[in-house]
Amino acid sequence: MTAVGEVAVHGHCAAGFEGVREAFARNFRVYGDVGAAVTVTVDGEAVVDLWGGHADAGRTRAWEHDTLVNVYSTSKGMTALCAHLLVDRGELELDAPVARYWPEFAQAGKQDIPVRWLLSHRAGVIAPREPVAARYAYDWDHVCAALAAAPPWWEPGTAQGYHAVTFGYLVGEVVRRVSGQSLGAFLRSEIAEPLGARVFIGTPAEEHERCAEMVGQLDESRLAEQFPGLPRPPFRALSDHPLAVVMLALTYVPIGDVNSAAYRSAEIPAGNAHASAHGLATVYGALVAGRLVRPATLEAMREPQSLPHEPDLAIDALAPPGTERRWGLGFILNHHGRAGPNPRAFGHGGAGGSHAFADPENGLSYAYAMNRYGSGATGDADPRNAGLVAAAYEALGRVRG
């Protein structure tokens, strides 16, 4: 343990990576982190593995190495990886219609939508026309049936629009139909447990005591503060309001209290993974090392699916002017250096600040997880993440000369 300022920083940094420790401690002093962890692996070794602060708002529980925390959309990287394992095994084809695996999905003109468009946010299935009732929010079969019956909001394949919540159900149901396991069970049996990685979607009850309490959360009250007068679905068309797409994408399933046992136990694969930073970095590190999929599959995962400078129908409504999102197959492709200097790095961030990614060319994986919900920006744009990533690559450059 090393005390830096007023924060006790636990864990270790390899020689040359001390700047990451300083950046980590600065997040507490400057940006108000309550509890957090960061892990960086290089060539399969954890060169940074730090944690500190508290797991609850009252600051009565210390953050531990095995503390789990809700990482919001950082979950999507784990969900996409499950699909790619099936692709790698020859059990799932990216260009096959979703309806081959999930026949009910062929309703409402969706019979030709390929699996590829689910992973790249091009399917137009951001929500059913009517929001899901609160009593069905954690009912997998109910939500999937509603999505199977729903017509797309735009002509599939012609535009990208962030499927903030439905991504997990759509990809997850394909994984379930192919593998016979729920997305969370597949993630646990095929990826997390073999790697010893603490990453869960559908967190077992016996792990709840190790879950950090989110301090602040993404909910309708937060959205209302950011956007006064924000309308609520249902909308007749996306043109009903400039924020219709994002409101549909974010709120059609009322997720409720993210600190509740019901939420932690549910499988919401687009946004409720509970993970440690070490667990996320371990998974991405195994991906970099070729332990999960073959090189050809790894390359396909980060093949650009977006057109140059293509707008995103959902993200552009919330993001600052000039923001651009480049999608691979379920992953955010590095842009503006948010995942370091390698433009071929890829991963996913989450609302409030978490972020995890892989950089195969540098043999590096990275993950940051915390429980103080930040500005609402996706994790790769959060200043806490930016400082840690910059410090990690500065150290890598010095160590490698």
pLDDT, tens only, 281-314: 999 999 999 999 999 999 999 999 998 888 888 8
Q: Where do the H-state alpha helices sit in 276-325?
A: 277-288, 295-301, 315-318
For the range 302-307, what are the long-range contacts, defined as Cβ-Cβ under 8 Å and sequence gap of 24 or more?
Answer: 302/328, 302/329, 302/331, 302/333, 302/344, 302/346, 303/328, 303/329, 304/328, 304/333, 305/116, 305/119, 305/120, 305/122, 305/160, 305/329, 306/120, 306/160, 306/333
Q: Residue 195 pLDDT more than 50?
A: yes
Q: What is the DSSP letter of 252?
A: S
pLDDT for the residue 1: 47
DSSP for 178-219, written as a single string = HHSS-HHHHHIIIIIHHHT--EESS--GGGGGGBPPPBS--S
- What is the side-by-side order of every strand in the sheet holding 69-70? 69-70, 274-275, 199-200
Residues forming beta bridges with residue 369, ordered by sequence position: 37
Query: Which residue in this structure is represented by tokens 């930016």?
Result: 386
H or E element, residue 347: strand 346-349
* Mean pLDDT of the 10-34 span: 96
Q: Residue 237 pLDDT more than 50?
A: yes
pLDDT, tens only, 128-174: 888 888 899 899 999 999 999 999 999 999 999 999 999 999 999 99
More confident residue, 89 or 382: 89
Asked if residue 301 lies in contact with residue 331, where contact means CB atoms within 8 angstroms, the answer is yes
- What's the token pair of residue 10? 């636990």
Given the DSSP bridges, would you call strands 45-53 and 199-200 parallel, antiparallel or unpaired? unpaired
The share of the chain scoring above pLDDT 70, in percent, equals 90
pLDDT for the residue 196: 98
Per the prediction, the chain carries an average pLDDT of 91
Q: Residue 39 pLDDT more than 70?
A: yes
- Range 2-77+196-400: architecture per CATH: 3-Layer(aba) Sandwich (3.40)
Q: Give the confidence band of 21 by pLDDT, cuts at 50, 70, 90.
A: very high
349 Cβ partners below 8 Å, 6+ apart? 73, 74, 332, 338, 355, 356, 378, 379, 380, 381, 382, 385
In this structure, what are the phi and psi dihedrals at residue 342, rounded to the nearest 5 degrees? -80, 115
Distance CA 15, CA 325 (A): 35
* Mean pLDDT of the 314-329 span: 74
The share of the chain scoring above pLDDT 90, in percent, equals 76
Q: Give the confidence band of 42 by pLDDT, cuts at 50, 70, 90.
A: very high
Q: Residue 265 pLDDT more than 80?
A: yes
92 Cβ partners below 8 Å, 6+ apart? 83, 86, 101, 115, 174, 178
pLDDT for the residue 376: 57
Q: Residue 3 pLDDT more than 50?
A: no
Q: Give the confidence band of 4 by pLDDT, cuts at 50, 70, 90.
A: very low
pTM of whole model > 0.85?
A: yes
Closest CA to 284 of 326, 332, 325, 327: 332
pLDDT, tens only, 198-215: 999 999 999 999 999 999
Q: Residue 5 pLDDT more than 80?
A: no
pLDDT, tens only, 363-397: 999 999 999 998 655 667 889 999 999 999 999 99
More confident residue, 135 or 276: 276
pLDDT for the residue 311: 87
Query: Which residue in this structure is represented by tokens 């864990």?
Result: 11
Going from the C-alpha of 380 to that of each of 74, 336, 366, 371, the distances in angstroms are: 10, 10, 11, 16
